[in-house]
Structure 1
Amino acid sequence: MTVLSDTRVLGSNAEAAAASTGTTARVWEALRSVRDPELDADVVSLDFVASVSVDVSGDSAVAHVALRLPTYFCAPNFAFLMVADAHDVVSAAEGVSRADVVLIDHFASDAINAGVAARAGFVTSMAGTEVGEAVAELDELRRTFTERALMAGTDLVVRPLMREGATPEQVAAMALGDAPASADLDRLRRRRLELGIPSSDADPLVVDPSGRTVGVEALPLHLRKARSYQVGVDANTSICRGQLAARYGV
């Protein structure tokens, strides 16, 4: 990744420098919780973080984060979500007094950056701008893509089971605790929790986005849909990585 990370200590001393280095590390870790909603991957692994720096002066530490996207015309609603989420998690990071999070090289960056800084919401941020009017806030959009992530995550967990010989009847009867431990299973649990779907070991493994158990008769179609979502995520991720590499030489 061609990302920059540095610490600027104003009125420098060794103790402040050490503290700010720790703050910088915590900012990076916080950014790993910020996802591209369409790709269901974090902005650090996607190389969407152009730079991170921390300015320290006395007891104050200002974290500066610049985000970038694969193209100049990436959807402003997705961009707004990522910048707003990054602002929230960086502001909450231990040692950060204030967060300065901006999107660079994007046609709507001025409106997005001003709106996020003012905590104005998407509709107010877009109002009266050249970007165009927004008709609604982004809660429903976020939920829609979390539901798609749930479906894609189901494919990642269930397809290996069926490759190993599990029958539809067996899969339909499985609980989450019956699936082998994996990063994909952990992520599936997190997406279920975000949607308010129970996610204990005893809860059904395969559910629809509303949380209803998928029975054996409906399972084949459900898994085909899940597979189509994961194929879409893989394809879009590949395209975005290629565009980002072409744009920034990463």
Structure 2
Amino acid sequence: MTTTAVSAEVWDALGRVRDPELDEPITDLGFVHELTVAGSEVRARLRLPTYFCAPNFAYLMVADAVDAIRAVPGVETVEVRLEDHFAAEEINAGVAAGAGFAGSFPAEAAGELDELRRTFRRKAHTACLARVCRRLLAEGWQVDALAGLRLADLPESVERESLVRRREELGLPATPDAPLVVDDDGRPVVPGKVAERLRFAQAVRVSIDGNAGFCRGLLKTRYGASNNTEERG
């Protein structure tokens, strides 16, 4: 592959790395400040909205970015560094050494971040459910009638794709015959409980979307409108 082709593949790979709290790609959020591809070597620099962004979230993004880039054909050497963050030194060293979160913060961390990641994946799934159902309700569906729908009943859309993808990540039923409205464990929600489930889902969606907008504003305030990737080749 040419350097240009590798660069495009790397950028696409980084687009599949999401902020665990905001459930948006780090590329869309503007967190990838610099990306340099030189042959089989890739270097990336990440910036976050504040100096004190949660170190566990920051660690996940840096580690996920390394894994995503390493999976790109033709890439042999990867360096991802977090900049302008109070825990950047520990995070960068820990990710580079493959030490895990607990190994990166031995005095503070109680363990790895698997449960935290799962918690935010559940929130992302709930928010996706809210987006899908909001669209259906706008088209005239009654709330309780949604309990009878299956994933196969949904029209093709970005919202549907996102919902299915997040169910697959969580190991929840994602086949065409799976119920649309389920709880966090994948159990179908009965008609009389659909409204309650959707109220909760809507609150989660508003929280995630609001936080994403807030973080975009903080990033722009911190670095200005020019915090785009400086080099991609």
The TM-score with structure 1 as length reference comes to 0.88
CA distance in 2 between counterparts of 1:19 and 1:163 reads 47
Shift of 1:169: 3.0
Aligned to 1:22: 5
CA distance in 2 between counterparts of 1:213 and 1:159 reads 18
Aligned to 1:46: 29
Task: Please give the root-mean-square deviation of Cα atoms over the aligned residues, in Å.
Answer: 1.0
Shift of 1:33: 0.7
SS of residue matched to 2:45: strand
| Residues paired across the two proteins, number | 225
CA distance in 2 between counterparts of 1:146 and 1:162 reads 24
Aligned to 1:249: 224
Shift of 1:240: 0.1
Shift of 1:207: 0.8
**Higher RCO structure, 1 or 2 (CA under 8 Å, sep 6+):** 2
In structure 1, the gaps of 5 or more residues are: 1-17
CA distance in 2 between counterparts of 1:99 and 1:187 reads 29
| Equivalences for residues 135-214 of structure 1 within 5 A | 135-214=110-189
CA distances 1:130-160 after superposition (whole Å, capped 9, x unpaired): xxx1112100000000000111000000011
Specify which structure has the higher proportion of strand.
1
1:119 partner letter: G
Given the alignment, which residue of 66, 83, 98 partners 1:119? 98
1:78 partner letter: F
2:109 partner letter: A
CA distance in 2 between counterparts of 1:141 and 1:74 reads 16
> Larger radius of gyration, structure 1 or 2?
1
The TM-score with structure 2 as length reference comes to 0.94
Shift of 1:191: 0.6
Aligned to 1:99: 78
Aligned to 2:228: none
Aligned to 2:231: none
User: Is the 2:56–2:113 Cα contact (8 Å) retained in structure 1?
Assistant: yes
User: Is the 2:94–2:101 Cα contact (8 Å) retained in structure 1?
Assistant: yes
Shift of 1:54: 1.3
CA distance in 1 between counterparts of 2:176 and 2:142 reads 20
